[in-house]
Every structure is written in structure tokens, then in C-alpha cells.
Amino acid sequence: MREVNVLVIQPIADEELAYIARLDSRLRVVDARGWFDEEIRQTWPQWSVERYLGKRSCPPSTRQDRDHLLAQAEVILGGWPFPLDLRARSPRLRWFHQRPAGASNLLRGDLWGSDVIVTTSRGQGNTGAMAEYVLACFLHFARGLHRAYRDRQRQRFEHGSYRPILIEGKSVCVVGAGGIGQAVGRLCAGAGMRVVGTRRHVSPGDALPSGFSRLEGPEHLRSLLGESDFVAVCCQWTPETTRLIGRAAFEAMRPGTVLVNVARGEILDEEALIAALATGKLRGVGLDVYVGEFEHAPDPRLWQDERVLITPHVSGGTDVAQHRGVDVFSDNLHAYLDGRPLANVIEWARGY
């Protein structure tokens, strides 16, 4: 019976680690949570270090200790940020699982495009919380609540500026009807909205996701934008979706559209977004992500606009844990030991 060395470098709960260790007697699970924090602090942008590592303490280890662990690892459970040279230091590595859902998180390191099988937790994150964030942003701008901050600063009401609208009966276009997008669609449909959306591959006869009245391929995006009052960007960041929401997309949108992005900042052309705001095309914009969010603050032109609500990638935050990343990894461990195909394998050419 062959032993499989599993190295856990992602900070997960003790009970999750114990659960993985109990899965199969063939597994040798090595706890290296926090061991790589110090080198991550030295190799990642300070903005990312402060945001994701903070001041958390890490177990003492030497470079030699860490190299030894990587040299023995066949499987690694990691997260974000991660050591940028994992592939070069892990000659026996066959499979890396990233607990976050987004494949683009791995673009910085040497795993991207390598011969190692890499899986993600795509579709199994805190999708319910992210859907609530989207709906909250829709309501924030629909009810004109962004005007309240300005009125508070002035200590004077400008009643006519609120111009509240009812979201019930309005249309929302979900760009990317994957795990997050489908959760958004269900919640918005429950609020009485008409839900349409795009997905990379749509075949005739495919069943519509719950809550959706129409689902099209990406070539129909502009027509869907033209019939929607609200837009939720939920797709993966790939070469095809880089600046997908650009000048042409903004021109296709209805006047007074509310746009929310919970995917990746690079999917929006920020210069085109700023131009659309300048012309008054958009009623409001909710950004949980922005271009360069792991390296610097948002563009001041966006942060200073009262019609733009920016948060620090917290749409998935919740007091009720819904993230199933460890469950996905555990299911895949069973498949790996049995020689079966793994779920959520990144296809490098596709980008996720």
C-alpha cells in the first residue's frame, strides 16, 4: 500500500486538518500551516501581506526545513498568498489544491502552466454571502442610500436627489452564471427580479439555472446588457474576460444602470468605467474588487466618487461558514487515491 505525502500549508481549522488526516490510512498528512509566512512576507507586495497575513504569528522554521517538506510532498493543500516557487522546490509534486475558488490567484507563481495538476474550490466558496453582497449593493443604489452620506456630511437633506426605484420587476444581467452567478440569480429572482445571464458554454436544451429566465453565450452579452437595469459581474478572470466590461459594454447599458463586480477587478476597464460615470450613464457601482487590489489602493477617481462603493474583497465574509474548500479537497483526495479524475482541474489554456 503506497503512502501519499500530503503537505498542508494553508491555515485551516484544527478540526479540518484532523478530518483530512482520518480520510485514509494511506495518507501521511504533514502540518505546515504558517511555516511559509515569513518568506511570503518577503516576496509578496506589502499591501497583500498586510491584508491577508496581518500580524499573525508563524511557527519558527528555516529555509532548509521548508525545502525538505516541499521536496517530500506529492500533494499540497494551499491558499493565498503562497510561495511563488513551489514547483521549482517540489520535484515530487503531482497535485496542488488551492482553497480559494479563483484560478487567477495563481498567475503570480510558477505553478501556472506547469505539469502539476492544480484544482480549485470553484463553485464551493461562500457563494450565498457573495449573492447577498450583490443584492445589498443593488438596494443601496436603488434606494439612493449613497446620497445619505453626503447629506450627513453637510447636515442638510437634499430630498430630491434620492430618486428611489423599486428593484421588483427590474432585470439583472449576471455575467458568468457559475457557482457565484447562480447564487446571485436565485437571490435576485427571490426579490422579484427578472434574471438573465451569460455563461461560457451554453448548449441547446440545457436546463436553466434556478431563477434564470434566459441564459446565453458571451457573444450575446451586449444585447443582455441593453435589456437590464442591474449588472452583476461574477465570471472568472481569463484572457477572454480581461476588460470584458469596457467602452462597448458601457455603451450597451441602459442609462441609470447599477453595476456590481464581485469577480476580479481586471474584468472591468476602469478607464471606461470612469468615463461612463463622467457622462452620468451609471446610477451606482459596487466594487468588491479593483485593478491591482493585491498591490495598492483603488484609483482615487473611483474612491472619491459617491456613486462608487468600494470594499476590500469582503463579499464572501460571513458569520456562518459556507466555504466547502476542504470538502472539495477531501473528495478529490479519495479520487486521487483511487486513480479517478479530479474535480475542478484548471485548464491552463482556458484560464480556470
Tell me the residue type at 105. N
Measured CA to CA in angstroms, residue 152 lies from 148, 155, 159 at distances of 6, 5, 12
Cα pseudo-dihedral 105, 219, 139, 130, rounded to 10:
-30
User: What is the set of active-site residues?
Assistant: 264, 295, 313
Do residues 101 and 83 lie in contact, with contact meaning Cβ atoms separated by under 8 Å? Answer: no
